[in-house]
Amino acid sequence: MTDMFSGTYRRGIFVQRETRIAVAAVLVVVILAGTSYYIYWNQNQGRDMLVISTTTSLYDTGLLDVIKERYEQENPNVILAFISAGTGIAITHAKNGDADMILVHSPSQEYSFMNESYGVNRKIFAYNYFTIVGPSSDVAEINQTDPISALQMIYNYGHAHNTSLWITRDDFSGTNSKEISLWGAAGYNYTQLRDEPWFVSSGVGMASTLNIANEQSLYTLSDIGTYVKYKSDELISLDQLVGEGQELLNVYSAIVVNNTTVSFAKFDLAMDFLQWIVGLTAQQLIADYGVADYGQGLFFPVVDMLESESPTQIFGWIREYAFFNDGEDLYECPPGWRFGEYGLYG
């Protein structure tokens, strides 16, 4: 000990060593910061970032990865930045000016978003169905019934037995808001249902909710995409008990953030993407997605059908469910909420 101390306390040496260490530390920090800035700059050089807040079902199924890849290939100067969140938070992002566009599936929430003049130029770009899934034992015997009676049977069974039976996401997502309206149509008040002992609240995303339902043999409402992916990967053994049908329709729309209300929004960039996603290439991508992997498409393209206004059953359903009432008529996007001349609305 004494050896090390003796003779080493010449001030100069210490000052020199302290300085050396300090200089080295500063250098390391500067070099690292410089490198990361360089890489960041290099990645984004001359490329505009379009931030799109999106519902989880579109992102978690992988559809948006395909869309991103193709769009960026065709438009090398654009980076599509998808922020995957529920419909609720996606709308909040857009209102705060943190997203330039939203891809969501909840017509009522979309209506108030546009009504508060946050969004313009709405286009429906895909649809599929929600589905009521449950354990194969199907204690409430809802298989093959219609959605409304299925929910009534689940309510009756749950009420009689008081064991956990139904799991709700309870997170204001598009799926959750669909569930709330379905319970309403079946004659029950969702807020009151939440207090029932057989009514379980997960508070997490679709995938985790499906896992819980699977573990605990519960019924739940799921979007078909997430369900099919989980089912075909054999992660869950839940069965699809009530599918398709008007009440279970799930419609995805794209809404551009209004840059007169939210000044940060990149309107032109968002319009380019909007026109692309309702175009031929994107609609084909949507139709093909999942066919090879799951033996069925997860989403159906919709633009051709809406443009031809063909009087099919599904067109009628979409019109009734996802179109907005403006005066006497129903519109995909009411004329007052259309900005610019893009020829999007026939």
β-bridge partners, 325:
330
- Quick check: 295 binds other proteins (CB under 8 A)? no
Q: What are phi and psi of 81, to 5 degrees?
A: -110, 100
- Quick check: 81 binds other proteins (CB under 8 A)? yes
Q: How many helical (H) and strand (E) elements, i.e. helices and strands, does the chain have?
A: 16, 12
The least distance separating other proteins from the CB of residue 151, rounded to whole angstroms, comes to 26
- Quick check: 39 binds other proteins (CB under 8 A)? yes
Residue selected from 4, 195, 328, 343 as contacting other proteins according to rule CB under 8 A: 4
The secondary element (H helix, E strand) that includes residue 80 is strand 78-84
What span, in angstroms and rounded, lies between the C-alpha atoms of 200 and 167?
Answer: 5
Nearer to other proteins, 26 or 280 (CB): 26
19-36 b/e with 16+ CB inside 10 Å = b? eeeeeeeeeeeeeeeeee
CB 62 within 8 A of CB 34: no
Q: Which pairs from 63-70 meet CB under 8 Å and 24+ separation?
A: 63/225, 63/286, 63/289, 63/290, 63/298, 63/299, 64/103, 66/285, 66/289, 67/277, 67/282, 67/285, 70/281, 70/282, 70/285
Q: Residue 234 region, left (φ>0) first, then alpha (ψ -120 to 50), else beta?
A: left
The least distance separating other proteins from the CB of residue 126, rounded to whole angstroms, comes to 17
The least distance separating other proteins from the CB of residue 338, rounded to whole angstroms, comes to 24
Residue selected from 16, 19, 23, 26 as contacting other proteins according to rule CB under 8 A: 26
Residue selected from 46, 137, 292, 313 as contacting other proteins according to rule CB under 8 A: 292
- Quick check: 5 binds other proteins (CB under 8 A)? yes
Q: Name the residue with tokens 């989403």.
A: 299
Of 206-225, which residues contact other proteins (CB under 8 A)? Answer: 207-208
The least distance separating other proteins from the CB of residue 206, rounded to whole angstroms, comes to 8
- Quick check: 156 binds other proteins (CB under 8 A)? no
Residue selected from 168, 229, 250, 255 as contacting other proteins according to rule CB under 8 A: 229
Please give the size of the binding site for other proteins, defined by CB under 8 A.
61
- Quick check: 233 binds other proteins (CB under 8 A)? yes
Nearer to other proteins, 3 or 328 (CB): 3
DSSP string, 198-215: TEEE--S-HHHHHHHHHH
Query: In the Cβ-directed half-sphere of 201, how many Cα atoms lie within 13 Å?
Result: 14
Calculate the alpha carbon distances from 206 to 37, 286, 298 in Å: 37, 21, 15
- Quick check: 301 binds other proteins (CB under 8 A)? no
CA 301 remoteness from chain centre: 17
Nearer to other proteins, 158 or 301 (CB): 301
The least distance separating other proteins from the CB of residue 255, rounded to whole angstroms, comes to 17
Interface mask toward other proteins for 84-103; x: CB under 8 A = x----------xxxx-----
Of 317-346, which residues contact other proteins (CB under 8 A)? Answer: none
Instruction: Name the one range near other proteins by CB under 8 A: 78-86, 138-146, 152-160, 174-182.
Output: 78-86
Query: In the Cβ-directed half-sphere of 172, how many Cα atoms lie within 13 Å?
Result: 9
Binding site for other proteins (CB under 8 A): 1-2, 4-6, 9, 11, 14, 17-18, 25-26, 28-29, 32-33, 35-37, 39-40, 42-44, 49, 51, 56, 60-62, 65-66, 68-70, 72-73, 76, 79, 81-84, 95-98, 205, 207-208, 229-230, 233, 235, 262, 264, 288-290, 292-293
